[in-house]
Amino acid sequence: MSFIEFRNVCKMYPGSKTNTVDNFNLNIEEKEFIAFVGPSGCGKSTTLRMVAGFEEITGGGLYIDGRKMNDVAPRDRGIAMVFQNYALYPHMTVEKNIGYGLKNMKLPSNQIKEKVDWAIQILGLEEYRYRKPKNLSGGQRQRVALGRAIVKNQKVFLMDEPLSNLDAKLRVSMRTEISKLHRDLGATTIYVTHDQVEAMTMADRIVIMKDGVIQQVGKPMELYDHPKNQFVAGFIGSPQMNFFQVTVEGKTVRFQDGNTITLPDDSAKRLNGRQGQMVLGIRGEDVKLNGGDLDTDRTETQQAVITNTEVMGNENNLYFMFGGSQAVARVSKYELSRVGDSISFVFTPSKMHFFDPNTGINYMEA
């Protein structure tokens, strides 16, 4: 049995006729770091709150360490939680804030001190020990909120968008801190975010949700390279994967503007005889300018004119119209071009995905 098991977990809010979380099935191993991602309203917080016990589970079962939790009170579930809007007590110092929960649990004061000292040290808050929250930066306050959770020494750690109130730079450094904390503490962690970069960089495995339904569960690179459907393909990765409406006849892929490319044998094989309308997907880094290092004799070179550029230095995006859609190529700084320049490019043949235009299923992964 896995450490945390969701078995057909459902949530129907009172007054609603449909499940907000629908048949959620997931096994989480001890010490894993799992991220839930998905667009706003897809049910991430609801699912997390059901784990914490703040929201009733209306169908299925939730098990932690072999024990069914549906009717167990939140404080008896062995869980610590950090929210987006962690409220620190304004009149208390950092150390008092961190120790408050333990005081409530009626722990002897020498034990409280020991745990608070440990948390303050691990989170690098020594300098701020006697300060009140209003005299701390956002990142320092966030660390106090983390400290409050870690002193409880629970086996399960739940975090709901804990970094969303921080500025971009602080988010990056807190990301690293939380990952390190997870390695040091080894608590099984569920981390909710709608930021796919956070999920990609921090999680052992990612759960992608849409409309209360799991779309795919996998390691970050599995989801990136082998999305099971067009939603996952479009959600993971920035800039978004390029999508084109195409018609496939035999080995010929015809774009809406009449351009064609020929499918390589192994892609054709994976299409398994499927024909007709499809959505072709290809990531920006798999659009190779001037053929890149590909054997261009075997792939057709296409032409386009750049309509927009995004120059970030290490990473640069060239936008152009092709196949009836806007498309993007991710290029190195040595391949930069300007708006109005003509480019020639190929799609890396082995990196093309083909999706069912109705269900979104990725034929290449089916």
Ligand X SMILES: Nc1ncnc2c1ncn2[C@@H]1O[C@H](COP(=O)(O)OP(=O)(O)OP(=O)(O)O)[C@@H](O)[C@H]1O
What are the residues binding ligand X (CB under 6 A)?
13, 20, 38, 40-46, 194
- Alpha carbons within 13 angstroms on the beta-carbon side of residue 306 total 21
For the bound state, the minimum distance from the C-beta of residue 209 to ligand X, rounded and expressed in Å, comes to 7
Nearer to ligand X by C-beta: 152 or 194?
Answer: 194
Reference 95, options 83, 113, 108, 78; nearest CA is: 113
Q: Give the nearer residue to ligand X in terms of CB position, either 125 or 207.
A: 207
Q: How far is the CB of 93 from Mg ion (least distance, A)?
A: 30
* Partner from Mg ion, ligand X, none contacting 89, C-beta within 5 to 8 A by type: none
Backbone angles phi, psi at 101, to 5 degrees: -60, -35
Is residue 340 within 8 Å of 305, Cβ to Cβ?
Answer: yes
Choosing among Mg ion, ligand X, none, which partner's interface includes residue 194 (Cβ < 5 to 8 Å by kind)?
Answer: ligand X
Q: How far is the CB of 58 from ligand X (least distance, A)?
A: 12
Residue 267 touches Mg ion, criterion: CB under 5 A: no
8 Å CB contact between 6 and 60: yes
The reply to whether 19 sits near Mg ion by the rule CB under 5 A is: no
The whole-angstrom separation of Cα 299 and Cα 132 is 64
The Cα–Cα gap between 305 and 12 comes to 50
**Closer residue to ligand X in complex, CB, 21/69:** 21
279 binds, among ligand X, Mg ion, none (CB under 5 to 8 A by kind): none
Q: Please tell me the distance from the alpha carbon of residue 203 to that of residue 64, in angstroms, as a whole number.
A: 20
Cβ 48 to Mg ion shortest distance, Å: 8
Using Cβ positions, the residue closest to Mg ion within the complex turns out to be 45
d(CA 216, CA 36) in angstroms, rounded, equals 11
| Residues near Mg ion (CB under 5 A), total | 1
46 vs 348, which CB is nearer to ligand X?
46
Q: Which does 13 bind (CB under 5 to 8 A by kind): ligand X, Mg ion, none?
A: ligand X
Which of residues 48 and 246 has its CB atom nearest to Mg ion in the complex?
48
* Min dist. Cβ of residue 45 to ligand X (A): 3
Residues 31-90 touching Mg ion, rule: CB under 5 A, are 45
Q: Identify what 186 binds: ligand X, Mg ion, none; CB under 5 to 8 Å per kind.
A: none
Q: Which listed option, ligand X, Mg ion, none, makes contact with residue 284 (CB within 5 to 8 Å by class)? A: none
Shortest separation between residue 162's beta carbon and ligand X, angstroms = 12
In angstroms, what is the minimal distance from the CB of 89 to Mg ion? 24
| Residue 214, both tokens | 């799991």
Task: Return the number of the residue (45 or 189) whose C-beta is nearest Mg ion.
Answer: 45
273-296 exposure pattern, b = at least 16 Cβ within 10 A, e = fewer: eeeeebbbbbbbbbbbbeeeebee
Angstrom CA distances, 285 to 168, 240, 242, 295, 348, stand at 24, 11, 10, 17, 9
22 vs 365, beta carbon nearer ligand X: 22
The answer for residues whose C-beta is within 8 angstroms of residue 290's C-beta and 6 or more apart is 343, 344, 345
What the block records as the tokens of 192 is 């909710």
Show the CA angle centred on residue 135, arms to residues 130 and 141, nearest 5°. 85
The DSSP annotation for 225-292 comes to HS-SBHHHHHHSSSSPPEEEEEEEETTEEEETTS-EEE--HHHHHHHTT--EEEEEEE-GGGEEETTT
Contact in structure between 355 and 281 (CB atoms under 8 Å):
yes
Q: How far is the CB of 205 from ligand X (least distance, A)?
A: 18
Quick one: 162 or 349, whose CB is closer to Mg ion? Answer: 162
Report what 43 binds from Mg ion, ligand X, none; CB cut-off 5-8 Å by kind: ligand X
The residue ranges that bind Mg ion (CB under 5 A) are 45
